[in-house]
């Protein structure tokens, strides 16, 4: 499955959101987001599944790809478009359940990313590229040099500390796309924030 266009992955975190998550997602879609992933790992399984189903219905109205982090059962039940797996997971095992879904995995080093892409991941997120408010103390930052190195192995989505001021630098370093969480979740105007990110990607 090809990566969504534009290659901007918005990852949810309702604890940082300035408004209800479904409203943040709707604003993001209106701003041009075409790839949204539900991450809310602390939600009870039935609530997460119901929320994912609402997001899938909403996202599909905009022609967007909607995925979920880790919860393969919810992805299948809600008819979502793919799953994002934690580091160390087996993308081939997920593929058996999602023959046509988009499957990505988290990576934190070039070597880890290379192994996951070889094992069948369609993309990896590489983090932290920069230090991030969403995960204080999470680091050290890998930087653009490691991102450039990793991009040689396959589709890499740059994650952590990314905003409109550095998104184009990530793309210029070889990233196939960028992922954001707090930048959109904390925004008082998620639609405008997404528009600025999409414009930054397009300018690279």
Q: What is the pLDDT of residues 41-99, one digit of tens each?
A: 999 999 999 999 999 999 999 999 999 999 999 999 999 999 999 999 999 999 999 99
**123, containing H or E segment:** strand 123-126
Four-way CATH pick for 8-168+176-189: 3.40.50.1100, 2.60.120.10, 3.20.20.70, 3.10.129.10: 3.20.20.70
Q: Helix, strand, or coil here: 68?
A: strand
What is the pLDDT at residue 192? Answer: 98
Length of the chain: 204
CA pair distance 129, 48, nearest whole angstrom: 28
103 forms beta bridges with 83
9 forms beta bridges with 179
The vertex-2 CA angle with 129 and 185, nearest 5°, equals: 45
What is the pLDDT at residue 2? Answer: 87
Give the whole-number percent of the chain exceeding pLDDT 90.
Answer: 92
What is the pLDDT at residue 135? Answer: 63
Do residues 116 and 90 touch, judged by C-beta distance below 8 A?
A: no
Do residues 85 and 50 touch, judged by C-beta distance below 8 A?
A: no
Q: In the 8-state DSSP scheme, what is residue 117?
A: H
Do residues 143 and 180 touch, judged by C-beta distance below 8 A?
A: no
């Amino acid at each position: 499955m090809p990566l969504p266009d534009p290659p901007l992955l918005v990852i949810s975190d309702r604890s940082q959101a300035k408004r209800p998550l479904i409203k943040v997602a709707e604003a993001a879609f209106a701003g041009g987001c075409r790839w949204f992933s539900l991450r809310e790992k602390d939600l009870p399984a039935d609530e997460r599944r119901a929320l994912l189903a609402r997001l899938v219905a909403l996202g599909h109205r905009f022609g967007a790809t909607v995925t979920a982090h880790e919860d393969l059962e919810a992805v299948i039940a809600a008819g979502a478009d793919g799953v994002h797996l934690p580091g160390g997971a087996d993308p081939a095992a997920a593929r058996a359940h999602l023959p046509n879904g988009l499957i990505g995995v988290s990576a934190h080093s070039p070597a880890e990313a290379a192994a996951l892409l070889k094992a069948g991941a369609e993309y990896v997120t590489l983090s932290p590229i920069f230090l991030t408010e969403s995960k204080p103390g999470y680091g050290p930052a890998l930087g653009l040099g490691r991102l450039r190195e990793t991009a040689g192995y396959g589709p890499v989505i740059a994650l952590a500390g990314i905003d409109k001021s550095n998104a184009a630098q990530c793309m210029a370093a070889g990233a196939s796309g960028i992922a954001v969480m707090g930048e959109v979740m904390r925004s008082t105007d998620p639609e405008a924030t997404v528009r600025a990110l999409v414009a930054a990607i397009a300018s690279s």
